[in-house]
Amino acid sequence: MAATLRASTVANLLTGAGGYHNLKALIKAIRACKTLADERSLIQKESAAIRTSFKEEDSFLRHNNIAKLLYIHMLGYPAHFGQIECLKLVASPRFADKRLGYLGIMLLLDENQEVLTLVTNSLKNDMNHSNMYIVGLALCTFANISSEEMSRDLCNEIEKLLGSSNTYIRKKAALCALRIVRRVPDLIDHFIENSKILLSDRNHGVLLTGVTLVTEMCENDSNVLPEFRKAVPLLIRHLKSLVTTGYSPEHDVSGITDPFLQTKILRLIRILGKGDAQSSEAVNDILAQIATNTDSAKNVGNSILYETVLTVLEIEADASLRVMAINILGKFLTNRDNNIRYVALNTLNKVVTMDTNAVLRHQNTILDCLRDGDISIRRRALELSYALVRESNVRVLIRELLAFLEVADNEFKLGMTTQISLAAERFAPNRRWHIDTVLRVLKLAGNFVREEILSSFIRLVCHTPELQSYTVSRLFVALQSDVSQESLTLAAVWLIGEFSDILLAEGVTEEEQHKNITPADIIDLFDSVLQSPYANALIRQFILTSITKLSTRISPNDPQQQRIHGMLSQYTTSQELEIQQRAVEFSSLFGQGEITEGVLERMPPPEIKATVLGVVSEAKPVGPTRQDKDSLIDLMGDEASTAAPATNGASAANPQDLLKDIFGSDNNMGGSSSQAAALSPAGQQKATFNDILGLFDQTPATFSPTPAPAPSAPTASMSGLSDMASLFGPSPSAAASMSSSLGTAPAPPAPSPAKPAAPKLPAYSAYDKNNLKVTLTPQPSVARPGMVTILATFTATDAVTGLNFQAAVPKTQQLQMLAISDPNVLPGTPATQQMRVIAPAGAQIRLRLRFNFTTAGRNVQDQVDFAGFPTDLTVAK
């Protein structure tokens, strides 16, 4: 009977009844397919033949079919139906069947398969087999596919095999233990003792797997660190043996003995020495020896040096050893291999904060990497250059960054302009150099400047009256030569419009030639910008505002007035709604006399805000204020300027003294300690800076005011310039009498309402209808005449919810508001809100109040004018 079955099998193989008779024939047939469709058809037929053949319990056929099935699986076709047949091969006593069966299990199964539970018993039996190669097959399979459940079931077998006398088995058992530690960290205790024994093994393969296992255990559980720190002397002996040993053919790689084991030991030492002074001190000598004696001419040596550097920087190493490690990275920067340079730059980026001075020694090499052909290296060099900027080298590094900005790819420019501007703001030697730097950035990459940087630049110029003439003249010349840079155009238009009187009075200096500027020159420049293809809606809005302001800086009889009016009239029918609205509003201001001058007077300097870096540079010295040979700062030079702040006209008040007088002390200003600026020339600016500073006077402990809304730098919605006109309606005279913006309640929650001080004057009723009554209680300031704190009290006869209270004052007065204590006012539970008004002495305080709330199921919007306070509130007493 057996002979008959064997004859039938041979006949099937010869006739092809079971498909291709072996793997070689199948591979040859697949390669002969001319199209993908032919290949798919062949695979489908062969898979069907294999499934049919599996019904026959013939081990020889099963072996062949599994081999073909694994090849089909490698080509990407489904082969899951062969999983059970692989288990049958594993149960075979033949080594060849077991090897192919385990290979099939590793390829066709993973730790999430339910079939895997059937493999556990076969693995356990084979791990106890007398043949070490069969044991090796079982260990190899376990290390590749074991699940958490299988790891718990076979943990004891792995622990026993770790103590085997056979190095082949110990090595594979260590890899299995590594798998268990990763899958089930709570089983680490089973392998601690045996792992210590592995670290003393003389076989490099066992030692390598043992070090890998210990590293994983230390990374997963910090509690085992004390146990393995005792093995640091043993690891040092292994390293010394590897470093000092002669030529070893078995382990030599490019003249270095077993670099793989060296890097693994260094990595383990890095973990053990981190935060432990004793272990770190023990490895200092061997690390110095490796760093000194390792050949860096080949990549193998560089890999060991790199691991040594990482180890030195992680452990509690000596300062001299850290400097040596950074010097190794600096040497890597001169290597021709791009990968080595990239790794060095990446590592220096991580350690620059650890020892900046040591990294600065390689500053020139880092800057050379900015010119590298590899974009990844340029990017990492840029990041490192930003981190290296200090007060001592800001001129050199910014000069190099500006030179690179001129030729940099567009993808770098946005980040570069931001980083250069922030570095200049933080480390600028003086404000003149800061302004020159940002001007250079605007010229080179004005289309890649963030809105925040532009706002910060305009704020700096507004707070530096000594340099306003210099800056405006530089911007005027720059805009004449290039209108393609959007941020340059916005900054120039905004500042020229704001300080056009200075530009007209002092002119510009171009190529050492002084040139007077006329209103016609400014209008011609703005007209050329409007006609250029680079003008967008935002630029047009800025120009409309600037030429309108220019009309108040020149004589009413100047022929350019008519030209300005004509330019505004062109846009009163613009299809862009925002521009049309501005043009109509500005056109209506012409011929209004004092109203026009009041509305279009110079804006107070914008509020000083902390930047991304949390610092501001307004406390820096001013630097030279004139552009001549004696005081000209060469932005691209290295010399430092020690010029004291210049005094141009009236002396500016000392910011520290001024702030101390306002706040009562000078120790609570934090990073924004110099929020003062010099006064404008007399008659130039009605709303003086003192009026703004008055808003921040000392207040009771329960009153912590936030800064009042101030004109900000240009934004996409033109918030800095056009908000002044946004409240104007059909009646210019009525609108001009009110403040340029409503003092809405700020977002932060109001402080807990405290019992207000007893008012010197009685409460005045301001509003009493729609279930809401509002009374205003004024409290004049004794220390500062003209400043009045007003407590608004809201009471309700029926529930009032979502109360939003807004107020505005005339242009000659200043207003600041805190948040309301509770926007929901219930009967018997009043709410309060504090305001502060600064008015000229003897002036009547006038308020326009706007209410928005919900009561009795309806939404109420109402507005009233209030002028019921006596005039002696603002008189000095």
On whether the CB atoms of residues 852 and 804 are closer than 8 A, the answer is yes
Indicate whether 254 pLDDT > 60.
yes
Distances (CA, A) of 95 to 63, 116, 154, 157, 401: 12, 21, 22, 21, 67
Indicate whether 758 pLDDT > 80.
no
Neighbours of 49 (CB within 10 A): 17
Tell me what pLDDT residue 876 has.
63
In a domain, 266, yes or no: no
On whether the CB atoms of residues 76 and 40 are closer than 8 A, the answer is no
Tell me what pLDDT residue 386 has.
92
Q: What is the pLDDT of residues 499-554, one digit of tens each?
A: 999 999 988 887 778 889 999 999 999 999 999 999 999 999 999 999 999 988 88
Q: What is the pLDDT of residues 124-171, one digit of tens each?
A: 999 999 999 999 999 999 999 888 999 999 999 999 999 999 999 999
In a domain, 177, yes or no: no
pLDDT class of 841 with cuts at 50, 70, 90:
confident
> Which residue bears the tokens 């929650």?
749
Average pLDDT over residues 466-487: 93
Q: Which one, of 326, 244, 299, 310, lies nearest residue 273 by Cα?
A: 310
CATH of the domain at 826: 2.60.40.1230
Tell me what pLDDT residue 707 has.
37
In a domain, 779, yes or no: yes
On whether the CB atoms of residues 786 and 814 are closer than 8 A, the answer is no
On whether the CB atoms of residues 834 and 789 are closer than 8 A, the answer is yes
> What are the helix (H) ranges across 294-388?
299-314, 319-332, 338-351, 356-360, 363-368, 375-388
Tell me what pLDDT residue 3 has.
42
Tell me which residue range forms the domain holding 794.
764-874
Indicate whether 686 pLDDT > 60.
no
Indicate whether 291 pLDDT > 60.
yes
In a domain, 495, yes or no: no
Q: What is the pLDDT of residues 608-627, one digit of tens each?
A: 655 544 444 456 787 777 66
Tell me what pLDDT residue 100 has.
93
Tell me what pLDDT residue 601 has.
83
The chain-wide mean pLDDT, for the chain, equals 79
In a domain, 404, yes or no: no
Tell me what pLDDT residue 619 has.
61
In a domain, 835, yes or no: yes
545 by Cβ neighbours in 10 Å (0-12 / 13-18 / 19+) ranks as buried
Please enumerate in sequence order all residues whose Cβ is within 8 A of that of 108, keeping only pairs 6 or more positions apart, or say none: 70, 73, 79, 80, 82, 83, 86
Distances (CA, A) of 260 to 99, 284, 289, 292, 530: 29, 21, 18, 19, 67
The structural domain count of the chain equals: 1
Average pLDDT over residues 582-589: 87
In a domain, 789, yes or no: yes
Indicate whether 11 pLDDT > 50.
no
Distances (CA, A) of 164 to 124, 142, 178, 310, 855: 16, 17, 17, 35, 85
Higher pLDDT pick, 811 / 666: 811
Between CA 17 and CA 24 the distance in angstroms is 17
3-state SS assignment for residue 255: coil
DSSP codes, 18-48:
TSSSSHHHHHHHHHT--SHHHHHHHHHHHHH
Indicate whether 640 pLDDT > 60.
no
Tell me what pLDDT residue 375 has.
92
Indicate whether 713 pLDDT > 50.
no
Average pLDDT over residues 249-258: 85
DSSP codes, 415-442:
HHHHHHHHHHHHH-SSHHHHHHHHHHHH
Higher pLDDT pick, 97 / 110: 97
Between CA 371 and CA 45 the distance in angstroms is 59
Q: Which one, of 766, 771, 746, lies nearest residue 854 by Cα?
A: 771
In a domain, 25, yes or no: no
Q: Is the dihedral of CA 655, 657, 658, 662 positive or negative?
A: positive
On whether the CB atoms of residues 567 and 547 are closer than 8 A, the answer is yes
pLDDT class of 319 with cuts at 50, 70, 90:
confident
